[in-house]
């Protein structure tokens, strides 16, 4: 069971902080998920759950469209989904140990 009160989920709704040059050099490919136009910056479990839905959505949509890629092959679309999903996989949720 994943708690929506865990630090990674709570940090989803925090305002973006100014990054130092050291952090920029360490995390070159980091993504600020809160730049999404439907991102909700309010606090609360429902807002956090909706933001988590935005993170999971690309993978779900990929598996819905995947059978159609056999009918209408599109390597550019497949590569685009691959890039989007690998970017979204940067989010690391917190799993409690007990």
Residues 15-24 have pLDDT tens digits of 454 444 444 4
Q: In this structure, what token pair is assigned to residue 96?
A: 């409690």
pLDDT given at position 22: 44
Task: Report domain extents, the chain.
Answer: 7-88
| CA atoms of 38 and 54, how far apart (whole Å) | 8
Q: Are 31 and 54 in contact (CB under 8 A)?
A: no
> What residue spans of 17-74 are helical by DSSP H?
21-26, 45-71
Interval 74-95: pLDDT, tens: 999 999 988 888 888 777 665 5
């Amino acid at each position: 069971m994943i708690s929506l009160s865990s630090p990674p989920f709570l940090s989803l709704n925090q305002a973006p902080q100014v990054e130092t040059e050291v952090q920029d050099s360490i995390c070159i490919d980091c993504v600020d998920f809160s730049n999404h136009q439907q991102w909700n910056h309010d606090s609360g479990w429902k807002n956090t759950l909706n933001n988590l839905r935005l993170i999971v959505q690309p993978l779900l949509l990929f598996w819905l469209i995947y059978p159609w890629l056999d009918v209408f092959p599109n390597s550019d679309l497949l590569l685009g989904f691959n890039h989007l999903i690998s970017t979204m996989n940067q989010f690391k949720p917190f799993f409690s140990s007990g």
